[in-house]
Structure 1
Amino acid sequence: MTGNWMVIAATGVLCGMGIFWGSRHLPGERWQFFASVPLRKRDDDSWEAVNITWYGVLLSGAAVFAVALYLIMLCGAGVHASAGVSLMVLLLAVCVPASSAVARIVERKPATLTIGGAAFVGSLVAPFAILALNRFGEAATGMHIPMSQGLAACAVAFLFGEGMGRMSCLSYGCCYGKPVEAYHGLIGRIFSKTAVIFQGRTKKISYASELEGRRVVPIQSLTMLVSSLAGIATLSLYAWGHFTAAYLGATASAGLWRIASEFFRNDYRGEGKVSAYQVMSGVSVLYAAVVACFLPEARFFGPVDLAGGVAALWDPGLFLFLAAVWLVLVTFTGISDTTFSRIRFHLHRSKI
């Protein structure tokens, strides 16, 4: 179907633009802080302010992008948008707090978040959330989400969110790679040509590892590329009705890449050579394989209509929902606890 190819191509172009622009600009010092909001005036006429980071703005934007794709996929498969929204609200209600709770447990730090931990919790909860929604929601409102389509849409959408979400890591200087000089031979030559350099003393790579201005492995950009390519492949599987394959492919791609990529990372992710997040990723892949064995026959056969899903998304209520998701996530992830600022205001007297 031409409509499916157009949606897939447009998604790929958007991801490519994000990878190209983000990798070139976001490691710079300019792209850590989005805004500062004055809170309290000091005796010297300056103001204490809270910082809103590009990390939160970009991560929330990536999440909205993923949720929009998720709704497009479900609506394209004939699922009512209200059912898709209900499932997403349930998952966000679990995963957003889990992003902080899991990081606190693993890394023992009060002001940190983990997308990997949130994804792990979400992957475990998703089948039961769909069952609960179908059990109680269908009886009350007639809403129903076929298990295969629902899990596949969640998994594929997460790949895109994971990929584009790494733009936020580039801006904040977190989830960073090891110094390039740690590698030799062919891998060392490849990394030396693709290395990323972070600037800004308030970025995590600076205060946690003192690697500001050093050439490091571009693990965020690699994750953006791998996740986007895997997302395009599994979105194509979904578009042509291969829901279980899309679910397994997306879950395996995200999990196996996290296991592999963490060996190239230099940030702290807990004790041990194998991190808790790598273990979680391996468990999530095995869990998906087990779940796939019990998936019921899909009620919908043949290609889905992704273009129809885009048309269904063109609704004021869904726009408000996506805006609300963005606002909630910015509030949760964008207000910086690790930095502060002081602001002074002045007049341009020549313009009065």
Structure 2
Amino acid sequence: MWDGENLTYYGLFNANAYALAVMIAFFLLASIGISLLTIIIMTLCLLTICMPSSKILAQIVEKRPHVFSVGAASFMGIILSPWIVYGILKFQQIEHNSISVLAAISIAYTFGEGLGRLACISFGCCYGKPITALSPFLQHMFSKIAMVFEGKTKK
């Protein structure tokens, strides 16, 4: 079992996750022929909705004033991105397959989500169950790879 001190780098990890996802999206969307202006418009539309959603939805669900959720931003992005992409392509009269654009965004999202989960581990909000709450079989299976952090930010 790993032991560690909870040094909260939530903002740093989240900022890096957003930056990585945006860079990958720019690269992939440009590689399928989407113009820079269209990429910027899509990115701004999605981030304008998803970034505030990480706070607003988390406050509604958890009923706490100072909370964020990577899942809330993801949820809004997954629900709204097909409509945003379709709307922007239609409005700009771009003859391009929405599916390839959504695939590029999905790949970028996956990388951003993976890095963003480090924020959750750092902050202490996504730890799951203690090993002692699991069955003996699962305790044995996970005892060597479990992480334990000490800190005030655990839920």
- Given the two structures, how large is their TM-score scaled by the length of structure 2? 0.88
User: Residue 150 in 1 paired to residue 116 in 2?
Assistant: no
8 Å contact from structure 1 (residues 181, 188) kept in 2? yes
Corresponding position: 1:66 with 2:21 = yes
1:171 corresponds to which residue?
122
| Deviation, structure 1 residue 186 | 3.0
Show CA shifts across 1:241-281 (max 9, x none): xxxxxxxxxxxxxxxxxxxxxxxxxxxxxxxxxxxxxxxxx
Aligned mates of 1:193, 1:120 — CA distance in 2? 32
The counterpart of 1:84, out of the listed 39, 43, 46, is 39
Q: Secondary structure at the match of 1:194?
A: coil
The one-character-per-residue Cα deviations of 1:118-173 (angstroms, maximum 9, x if unpaired) are 211111211211122123334xxxx6653011111122211111111111112211
1:291-316 deviation per Cα after TM superposition (whole angstroms, max 9, x unaligned)? xxxxxxxxxxxxxxxxxxxxxxxxxx
1:263-282 equivalent positions in 2, closer than 5 A: none
Distance 1:164 1:148 in 2: 24
Give the total of aligned pairs: 154
SS in structure 1 of the partner of residue 129 of structure 2: coil
Q: 1:145 to 1:119 in 2, by over 3 A?
A: farther
Q: Deviations over 1:169-188 (max 9, x none)?
A: 12211111211011123321
Of 176, 189, 194, the match for 2:145: 194
The one-letter code matched in structure 2 to 1:28 is: E
Mark the runs of 5 or more structure 1 residues left unpaired by the alignment: 1-23, 33-53, 209-352
* Residue in 2 that maps onto 1:254: none
Give the structure 2 partner of residue 293 of structure 1.
Answer: none
The CA deviation string for residues 187-222 of structure 1, in whole angstroms up to 9 with x for no partner, is 21121111111123x3x21xx4xxxxxxxxxxxxxx
| One-letter amino acid matched to 2:83 | F
Q: Distance in 1 between matches of 2:35 and 2:82?
A: 18
Q: Which has the higher contact order (CA 8 A, sep 6+)?
A: 2
Q: Which runs of 5+ in 2 are unaligned?
A: none
RMSD between aligned residues: 2.0
Q: What SS does the aligned partner of 1:178 have? A: coil
- Equivalent in the alignment of 1:28: 5
Return the letter of the residue paired with 1:130.
Answer: V
TM-score by length of 1: 0.41
Change in 2 beyond 3 A, CA 1:55/1:145: farther
Aligned equivalent of 2:56, options 98, 101, 111: 101
Question: What is the rounded CA distance, in whole Å, between the counterparts of 1:113 and 1:144 in structure 2?
Answer: 38
Q: What letter corresponds to residue 130 of structure 2 in structure 1? A: P
Kindly provide the CA deviation profile for residues 7-33 of structure 1, in whole angstroms up to 9, marking residues without a partner as x.
xxxxxxxxxxxxxxxxx79x424x32x
Q: 1:39-69 CA deviation, whole Å, 9 max, x = no partner?
A: xxxxxxxxxxxxxxx2101111011111111
Partner-residue secondary structure (3-state), 1:198? strand
The one-letter code sitting in structure 2 at the alignment partner of 1:60 is A
Equivalences for 1:268-307 in 2 at 5 Å? none
Name the structure 1 match of 2:79.
Answer: 124
1:112 maps to amino acid:
V
Q: How many percent identity over aligned positions?
A: 32
**Which runs of structure 1 show a deviation greater than 2 angstroms over 4 or more consecutive aligned residues?**
135-138, 143-146
Secondary structure of the residue aligned to 1:110 is coil
Q: In the alignment, what sits opposite 2:111?
A: 160
